Structures are given as C-alpha cells and as structure tokens.
A and B are shown apart, each in its own frame.
Chain A
Amino acid sequence: MRRRDVIAGLGGAAILPTAGWSQADKRRRLGILLVYGAAHPDSPVIVETLRASLRGHGWIWGQNLAVDLQFGDGDTEKMGKQTEDMLARQPDIVLAQGVVGTTVLQRATKTTPVVFMMLQDPVGAGFVSSLSHPDGNLTGFTNFDFSLVGKWLQLLKELSPETGRALALINPDYPARLAGYTAELARIGPELGIDARIAGIHDAPEIERAVTAFAKEPRGGLIVLPDAVTGIHGPQIIALAAAHRLPAVYAYEAQIRQGGLAAYTTSVAQEVGRAAGYIDRILRGASVGSLPVQAAARFLTVINVRTAATLGLTISPSLMAKADELIE
C-alpha cells in the first residue's frame, strides 16, 4: 500500500508540470468585437448576458476561457485595428456585433470561426452562402429583415397617423444593406402613404444636418434603422427628434429607454444567449459552416408613453394591444 502511494506520488509529480501545460493549452480564447462603446446601455447587457450564458455552458471567463473584449465605438478604422490585434492573439472564436464588426472580421480572417449577431441579411452581405448552410467560417444570428422597415413605417403611422414623410437614418457604407432598405422603403412607403427616403449618415454633424433639414417640413417622422452609427449616436438622434418634435421609431429597446418614442425590436439578451450557445458548440468542436444562421422569431413593440405624451400623441387601442412594453 505504501509502495503504491509512493509510486502514485512519483507519477503525480511527473504528471503535474505537463498537467499545468495542458491546462494552459486547454484554456480557450474568445474575442468579442462590439460595435458599441462601453457606455452604450446595451453593452453591459450584452457582456453580462454573454458571461452568464457561457458560464451556463461551462465556460468561465478568466478561467478556462480567456476573453478579449473590444468596444469599437462605431469607428470602422479603430475596429479594423482592434480586429488585427485580436486575431494576433489567436482567438479560438470571435463574436462580432453588427454588420460593421462582421465585415471587418470577414476581411481579416478566413479561418477563425466568427459568430455574428444583430445584423441583417447575411446572405446579401456575402457573409454566408445560405442561411441553412453557411459553408464558411461565419455563422450567427440575424435580428431583423429589411422587410421590417414596413413594420417600422406602420408603427410610425400608427403613432402619428398624419405622418406623410419619413427619413430613415443609416450608415450608407454597406451597399447591400443600403440597397435592401432602400428597396423596402420604396416598396412599402407608398402603400402606407408615406414618402420615405434614406439619409446616409456617418457622424453627429451629418445626423444633425440631415434631421434638421428634414424637420423643416411638416408631417415628418424618423425611422432610426439598426446600425452602429445610429446606435452610437442614439441620444443625439433622440434629442434632435425631441427638439424638432419628430415622432421617431427605433430598432432597439435601449433607445426607447433613453427617451426614444417607440421601437419594434427583438430581445438583445435572447440573441446574445443564442450566440453564446453557438460559441459553446464551436468551442466544443462543431463546424461553423454547418451551423445554420438563425433569425429572430419574436418581436417586441416598445413604446415610451412619456415621449408620446410630450409629442402630444395618443396611442390607439390596437397599438396598445400590440405593445409588449410601455415605458413611463
């Protein structure tokens, strides 16, 4: 018995150093490239949801999962740099938010698995070959379809029935997306009796210029399309909308909490949770190309009642019935 202990001890001693190495080896690295800044209200939601979900799958940040979290602040150049640095650290997988981060990553690597989220039409953008079979190193989750422009326009019309003009704000640098939204706006706008057009914006001044110019004429409303620029400059857009008494419809709930009027949106936390599921499966060896792109199935109507009141809008019963959340 004693001899066996000694031998086991020797064996253990011999194994310990290698065990230490293998543990270091086993530690996986996750890169997170967020388009938002750290100050964006959704950033902690995303990070904490991710942390909790991954923990649920057995991945503990800082222990068996090294996390490389980067906030892009909507700055494409900065995100390019961040991506380079991140990839230099050889992550096992990268989570990319939105079309900006996904595009940067797609350009930077053809091998590192990338899970994207909070973007639209990955097929059209060329991220994946098809939703069911991505067949590349990218897969992920879409939150909206271009067709949702119709819902946003309708929501705007329902909130403020006299609306006849709509300005959709979006970063125009991604042609497929721009084309998609443009086509949908052109198709649906007339059906709803709204003259909708797109304003390409990159920064605060452009936003101010576009909104101020648009607000000069009456019966207007804003469609704040889901985008890095609109996300980063959410407070400014909300302030401008308030200043010009423009009803505005947003794509994210966070903006309603910041004072935006209403949103038809999906649950960010749910999407992040699902993305965590894919991260887990890929870390455990699933092939990225065989994981289908998943689209959101549940949509929420969120209305800020106070903003509505400020704008002097009354909310119809059918709209009230639709609303999943009313923010006072």
Chain B
Amino acid sequence: MTKLDTPPRAPPKQFRLPLSGKFAVAFVGLVTLVLLINGAVDLMLNFRDAKENAIAVQREKAHAAAERVDAFVSEIENQIGWTTRAEWRRIAPDQQRYDFIRLMRQAPAITEVSYLDPSGREQLRVSRLEPDVIGSGKDFSTSPRFTQALKDKTWFGPVYFRRGSEPYMTVAVAHAGRDPGVTVAEVNLKLIWDVVSTIHNGANGYAFVTTATGRLIAHPDLSLVLRDTDLSSLPEVAAALPGKDGARDYQLASWLDGSLVLAAHASVPRLGWIVFVQLPLREAMEPLMESVLQTLALMGLGLLLATVAGTFLARRMVVPIRQLQDGAERFGAGDLSERIVIRTGDEIETLAHRFNAMASRIQDSYETLEAKVEERTRDLNQSLDDLQKAQSRLVQSEKLASLGQLTAGIAHEIKNPLNFVNNFAALSKELVDELTGMLESASLPADIREEADEIAEMLKNNLDKVIQHGKRADSIVKNMLLHSRTGSGEHRLVDINALVEESLNLAYHGARAAKPGFNVTLERDFDPAAGMADIYPQEITRVLLNLMSNGFYATEKKAAAAGAGYAPALAVSTRDRGDAIEIRVRDNGTGIPESVKAKMFDPFFTTKPAGEGTGLGLSLSHDILVKQHGGTVDVATQPGQFTEFTITLPRGGAAPAEPAAKPVSASEPEGQP
C-alpha cells in the first residue's frame, strides 16, 4: 500500500481556532448572549420598578413628613387650646399666669405666650427670656395676630428670625365664646428639629422644611437653619414653590454640596410651608444597584459556569476526536497495527470502531494482496518460463518436423536406388549361378574352367556382400524412416532383443555417420529369454536411440577430455523379469552431475551446447516409458565414471495405453523401384 498523502499543512501565520475553541466559544457565546439579554431585560424592568418604587416611597415619606410637621403645629395649637376656653378670661390673673406657665412646660417650643383681651390689649405675657408682665395693656387690636385670629379662629403668622438667626412663628388662637380674647404664642421653630431629625428616610436621607419663599425653617443640621439659609435657588425647592403647580412632586436634583439626591415634597397648606424629603440618589437606587449587582453576579457566575462547562464539554468532545485524528494519522502513515481506543459510548466511539474495522480490512487486504502478488509473480514467471520452453519446443518440434520430412524424403529417395541395387544384386547373383551352370555344361579348358569358376565364385561373393550391405543400408533407411515418423504408430508384439539390436546398430551408424572418427566398443548381453512384449516399437526405438546416442555423446566427451588410454564402451543388456523386460544402457562416459540429475527428465533441459540437443530427448523418453507404456526409467551414475539407464517395460504395458498421435509423415515407400 502506498503512503497516503499527508494532509496539506496550513500556512503557520493563519490563525486556526481548534474545534474545542470553536465549541467553547459558541457555547459560552450563546450562554453569554442569553444572559446578556436576560440581564438587560431584567435591568430595564428593575430600573423602572426601582425608580417608580423609589419615587413612590419618597412621595409617601414627604406626605408623612408634612403630616408630622403639621402635627407638631397642631399639637402646639392644641396645647394653646386649653387656655382658650370661653370662661378662661374670667379667671384670676394669677391662675391665668399659672396656666400659661403650665402651657409652656407642656410645649417647650413656645418661648412666649400672651393673652389679648377682647379689645385687643395685652393682659398677660409669660416668657422664657423676659420677666412676666401682667396687664401691660399694649394695644394689638389692629395687629393681624388679633384680627386674623378672631376671624379664622387660629392664625399662623409669618416666620420671622430672632437676631437674624432663630426661626420663630406667631400662633394666635381666638378664645371660645362670645366676645373672645386671643392667646398668642411665639413658637421657636428651632424645635421642629426634634420632629425633623426623627424623620428617617433610608440611611442617609432626611427631611427639611422651608417657607413658601424657600427660606429654610427646619433641617436635621440645625446650623443650616440658623445660618439663614435661602434654598429658593435650589431647583428642587424652586420647583416646589407656590405658582409652579404643574411641577412634579419629585425631582432629581443636586443638593447644596453638589451630591445628587432624589427629592420629593409635600406642602403643609395651612402654614404655607413645604416639607421636602430627600435621599441620596445612590441610596435611592440601591435596590437597583443591588439588582444590577445581582444580575451581574449571576451573569458572571453563569459565564463562569458556561466557560467551565463549555471547556469541559469541548475537551470531552475533542479529546476523543484528537485520538481519532491521531489514529487516522497513524493509519494514514501506514501503521495499521495499532487500534484507536475510545470509550465514550457515543458516535465517536462508533466512528473509531469503523476506523478500526477499516484498518483491519486494509491490513488484511494488504497482506492477502502481497501474498497474491507474490503468487502471481511466481505464476507469471512460471508461465513465462513455460512459454519460453513451449516456444523453443515449438521451434525444436518444427525443426524436428522439417528434419523428419527431410530425412523421410532423403530415405525415400535413397531407398529407390537402393532397391535397384539390392534387387539387381540378387538378380546378378542368380545370373552368376546360371552362368556357372552354363559353363559346367560347356567344355572348357580346365584352367579356364578353373579360372572361370574362381571368377564366378568371386562374383557371387561380391554380390553376396553387395546384397548383405544393401540390406544393411536398407535397414538403415528403414530405421531413418521409422525415426522420422513422429507418430508412435501401432503397438504390437515385438522381439525386444531384435529391437534393441536394431536400435543399437542404428545409433551406432548414426553416430558414425555424424562423426567419421567415432569409435566405441559395443558390448551386447542379450537375454534370449527376453522374448516378446506388446509395445509401440517406434517409440521404444526412439527411447533407445536417445539413450544410446546420449551414451555415445558422453563417451565422446570423455574421450575428448581423457585422451589416450580411455576405451569408450557402451554396454547394452536385456533381461527377462517375468512380466517385464529390463533393458540396460551403460556407458563409461562423463557421468551426470548430481545437480543435473534432478532436472534431466524435465523437458527442454539439456547440458549440450546450443544447437546440439533439444532437451526433449529424456523428457520424451520418460513420457513414453512411464506414461505410454506404464514402465519405469531409472538412472545410476557416477560423475566421470559411468551412467546406466535401466528401463523396465511391462510385457503388456502398452495395451491400455492411449494411442499416440497419428504419424505425420508420408506413408512408408514400399520399395518399388
């Protein structure tokens, strides 16, 4: 398997957010968005609520404070009330003074109290700062404290300041009954401090009171009051002053020291005073701030949790993916031995299993493929070899075929003249006999007769030799024809010894014909009991010729190497082995090396130089002996000493054998001249 392409590396400059990062960012971003929206909505609602709440609370406090200030004045009015009974002016002055003293004890804010009789003259004055005066007769009949009190029952004078510092107010209450007098009290408004300073408004908020002109009357910081503070320039006070009816009853404003406050006010109608309550904006908005802080804290907590969870999940998700990636990279690099181990129990684990399965399959395929390739290569090589062998065999067959045809043609051509020679030699011999007969009857001198007889005898002898050698030549030609036939012909009972003898002669003469200087000692040891066997004689002849010519070749080679003193010999023997016949062909040639011995029956295997052997001889012989005749062929050899082939042929071995291919050569000539 070839190495997979490594994934293209991104340029290092380009920032790549890892999957975990993307996941975490997406997760945290989503949570943040939700929290932000939630927080914003929450804050918006809270802000409105808090503001409205704060304003409502301040407004309520302003009204409560106004009521308390009103109550303070009402209390004084009530206290004065028990000196305004109808019969009060008729009691003794001492008693009246006593009542006033009691009144002042009851109402510490009253600094001075006086009684105006129905004519508006002062009859009694009791003061904390001045000696008491009885019957001063001062005329107040035209003063508003008298006239207005008579008119309205109760009169509240304008606020005035003693020594430019302390706020005072005159309260005049008309007596009951007909023709009433008036009790007039000077009230030190400094003592509203007692009221105002107990009005608590949150932690740092407070109440203060101004006149209708904005002059400060009461404030928890008394020094502000005593300092003659005019607040009419403060926006919150200016807005509340009479004549600004349209103004809201609350205001966000800055106080004297510049701090922002939430101020609300309410008026005390019968005094014309305005009571303010104010709360530092920071404190008023504290619930809001708290809710903001709460929201922010929740958001922070949410973010933290989201970050932790996102990171955890991202890691949780990415770690197996990384493992998967590493595994895939390993697979990609060709390392298929390891497996990806992921135990997440989800799709990624399944994916890992798939990867593993894939890797296994690839590994298997890889291994099988290698084996197959090897096998195929071997097969291919084998096929190539076979092909090459077949090719050369074909070439050789073609050569042999043409050689066979050639030989057949030559033999045929030779046979006709040879027939003439033989026939005419036999005829000549008969003619010589006839001549001798004729001469016997003729009278001839003895010496001539003797000479003629001698010549006739010599002629007969010569003719016998011609006949003998003619027959021999005829036999050779016959054998050549036989050999040239590629077909095996018919099987029949054959005399083995004769076949062997014939083959030996043919081989020998063949060898002698090929090389005129060839010489070998032929040893024949034929067992007369060898008898007959049912064989394909042509095929067996081919085998024997082959073995014998090989033997000749071996002796020749050895003779060439060994030189004088070496007697080349080829021994051929037959033996009766009962159901089989044994034929041995032994030469004392070069022998066969062990390395060759194993392959010598392979087709096309030859040790001869190119062109001298086809490599088919032994192979064909083996096939003929073993496959065609059901016999055996064995070889015994010793390199440099001898080679002995032992053939065993069953006597009826050829019978069941398949008929060999039809001969391809032309029909044997019948010896016609």
Q: Which A residues contact B (CB, under 8 angstroms)? A: 130-133, 145, 147-148, 150-151, 153-154, 188, 191-192, 281, 290-295, 297-299, 317-318, 321-322, 324
C-alpha gap A297/B163 in the complex (Å): 14
Known: A290-B227, A321-B102, A321-B105. A145 touches B164 (CB 8 A): no
Known: A290-B227, A318-B101. A131 touches B164 (CB 8 A): yes
The answer to whether B227 touches A151 (Cβ under 8 A) is no
Centre residue among A130, A150, A292, A293 by max chain B CB count within 10 A: A292
Closest to B130 in A: A150
Contacts of B98 in A (CB 8 A): 317-318, 321
Closest to B133 in A: A191
Closest to A316 in B: B94
C-alpha gap A322/B101 in the complex (Å): 6
The answer to whether B131 touches A292 (Cβ under 8 A) is no
C-alpha gap A299/B111 in the complex (Å): 10
* Nearest CB of chain A from residue B121's CB, rounded to whole Å: 18
Contacts of B130 in A (CB 8 A): 147, 150-151
The answer to whether B105 touches A298 (Cβ under 8 A) is no
Tell me if B128 is interfacial: C-beta within 8 Å of chain A: yes
The answer to whether B165 touches A132 (Cβ under 8 A) is yes
Known: A132-B226, A132-B227, A294-B222. A321 touches B101 (CB 8 A): yes
Tell which of A153, A290, A299, A317 touches B128, judged by Cβ atoms closer than 8 Å.
A299
- How many residues on chain B are close to A (CB under 8 Å)? 26
C-alpha gap A293/B105 in the complex (Å): 25
Q: Which residues 121-135 of B sit at the A interface, judged by CB distance below 8 A?
A: 128-133
The answer to whether B228 touches A147 (Cβ under 8 A) is no
Known: A131-B164, A147-B129, A150-B131. A297 touches B190 (CB 8 A): yes
Q: Mark B146-174, 1 if CB is under 8 A from A, else 0.
A: 00000000000000000111100000000
Contacts of B165 in A (CB 8 A): 130-132, 292-293, 295
Tell me if B188 is interfacial: C-beta within 8 Å of chain A: yes
Can you sample 27 A-B contacts with CB below 8 Å? A130-B164, A131-B226, A132-B165, A133-B228, A150-B129, A150-B130, A151-B131, A154-B131, A191-B133, A192-B131, A281-B223, A291-B223, A291-B227, A292-B165, A294-B222, A294-B226, A295-B163, A297-B111, A297-B166, A297-B188, A297-B190, A299-B128, A318-B98, A318-B101, A321-B101, A322-B101, A324-B105
The answer to whether A318 touches B129 (Cβ under 8 A) is no
Q: Mostly helix, strand, loop or mixed at chain B's interface?
A: mixed
* Nearest CB of chain B from residue A246's CB, rounded to whole Å: 20
Tell me if B593 is interfacial: C-beta within 8 Å of chain A: no
Closest to A154 in B: B131
C-alpha gap A161/B97 in the complex (Å): 16
> Top 9 nearest A-B pairs by Cβ distance?
A292-B226, A150-B131, A154-B131, A131-B165, A132-B165, A132-B228, A292-B227, A318-B98, A321-B101
Contacts of B108 in A (CB 8 A): 297-298
Known: A292-B223, A292-B227. A132 touches B164 (CB 8 A): yes
Q: Which B residues contact A (CB, under 8 angstroms)? A: 94, 97-98, 101-102, 105, 108, 111, 128-133, 163-166, 188, 190-191, 222-223, 226-228
Tell which of A131, A188, A281 touches B131, judged by Cβ atoms closer than 8 Å.
A188
* Nearest CB of chain B from residue A262's CB, rounded to whole Å: 15
C-alpha gap A78/B64 in the complex (Å): 55
C-alpha gap A298/B108 in the complex (Å): 7
Closest to A130 in B: B164
* Nearest CB of chain B from residue A153's CB, rounded to whole Å: 7
Closest to A281 in B: B223
* Nearest CB of chain B from residue A180's CB, rounded to whole Å: 14
C-alpha gap A151/B104 in the complex (Å): 15
Tell which of A133, A153, A295, A299 touches B166, judged by Cβ atoms closer than 8 Å.
A295
C-alpha gap A298/B102 in the complex (Å): 15
* Nearest CB of chain B from residue A149's CB, rounded to whole Å: 9
Closest to B229 in A: A132
Closest to A153 in B: B131
Closest to A322 in B: B101
Centre residue among A151, A281, A324 by max chain B CB count within 10 A: A151
* Nearest CB of chain A from residue B598's CB, rounded to whole Å: 87
Known: A132-B227, A292-B165, A318-B94. A148 touches B101 (CB 8 A): no
C-alpha gap A293/B163 in the complex (Å): 11
The answer to whether A148 touches B226 (Cβ under 8 A) is no
Closest to B97 in A: A318
Closest to A134 in B: B227
Contacts of B101 in A (CB 8 A): 318, 321-322
Contacts of A153 in B (CB 8 A): 131
C-alpha gap A297/B168 in the complex (Å): 12
The answer to whether B223 touches A294 (Cβ under 8 A) is yes
Contacts of B191 in A (CB 8 A): 297
Contacts of A150 in B (CB 8 A): 129-131
* Nearest CB of chain A from residue B122's CB, rounded to whole Å: 14
Contacts of B128 in A (CB 8 A): 151, 299
Tell which of B111, B129, B188 touches A151, judged by Cβ atoms closer than 8 Å.
B129
* Nearest CB of chain B from residue A251's CB, rounded to whole Å: 14
Contacts of B97 in A (CB 8 A): 318
Contacts of B131 in A (CB 8 A): 150-151, 153-154, 188, 191-192
Closest to B111 in A: A297
* Nearest CB of chain B from residue A125's CB, rounded to whole Å: 14
New A-B contacts (14) at CB < 8 Å, excluding given A148-B129, A151-B131, A321-B102: A130-B164, A131-B164, A132-B228, A150-B130, A151-B128, A151-B129, A291-B223, A292-B165, A295-B166, A297-B108, A297-B166, A299-B128, A299-B129, A318-B101
* Nearest CB of chain A from residue B310's CB, rounded to whole Å: 25
Contacts of B133 in A (CB 8 A): 191
Contacts of B223 in A (CB 8 A): 281, 290-292, 294
Closest to B109 in A: A297
Contacts of B228 in A (CB 8 A): 132-133, 292
C-alpha gap A145/B129 in the complex (Å): 8
C-alpha gap A292/B216 in the complex (Å): 14
C-alpha gap A192/B164 in the complex (Å): 29
Contacts of B164 in A (CB 8 A): 130-132
Contacts of A133 in B (CB 8 A): 227-228
C-alpha gap A290/B105 in the complex (Å): 33
Contacts of A188 in B (CB 8 A): 131
C-alpha gap A299/B227 in the complex (Å): 23
* Nearest CB of chain B from residue A326's CB, rounded to whole Å: 14
* Nearest CB of chain B from residue A41's CB, rounded to whole Å: 25
* Nearest CB of chain B from residue A249's CB, rounded to whole Å: 12
* Nearest CB of chain B from residue A104's CB, rounded to whole Å: 25
* Nearest CB of chain A from residue B109's CB, rounded to whole Å: 8
C-alpha gap A150/B227 in the complex (Å): 28
* Nearest CB of chain B from residue A116's CB, rounded to whole Å: 15
Closest to A131 in B: B165
* Nearest CB of chain B from residue A144's CB, rounded to whole Å: 9
C-alpha gap A131/B165 in the complex (Å): 6
Closest to B136 in A: A191
